Amino acid sequence: MNPIKTILREIFGLFVDDGTFALAILLWLFVVRTLSPHLGNASAWSGPILFFGLALILIESAARYSRRRTLK
């Protein structure tokens, strides 16, 4: 295989092994970025809101994997 292709695939693999999981993280960052200027008084908690979304994505992805893995 082309060595450049191999290196690029390895680098991509550092960040993405489950496409849905990676996409959900990026979508959540986009949502927070879009909504954060409109949070008003709640903006003091915009950092924790970012964390809670990521936490939910992590739990959902791990639970989905465990369910899928067992059904195989």
Q: What is the smallest separation between the CB atom of 41 and other proteins, expressed in angstroms?
A: 11
- Which residues of this protein are in contact with other proteins, per CB under 8 A? 10-11, 14-18, 21-22, 25-26, 29, 32-33, 36, 43-51, 54-55, 57-59, 61-63, 65-67, 69-71
Q: For residue 42, what are its two tokens?
A: 């709640």
Other Cβ atoms less than 10 A from the Cβ of 53: the count is 17
Contact 62, 30 (CB under 8 A): no
What is the C-alpha separation between 25 and 21, in angstroms, rounded?
6
By C-beta, is 4 or 44 nearer to other proteins? 44
Q: What is the smallest separation between the CB atom of 29 and other proteins, expressed in angstroms?
A: 6
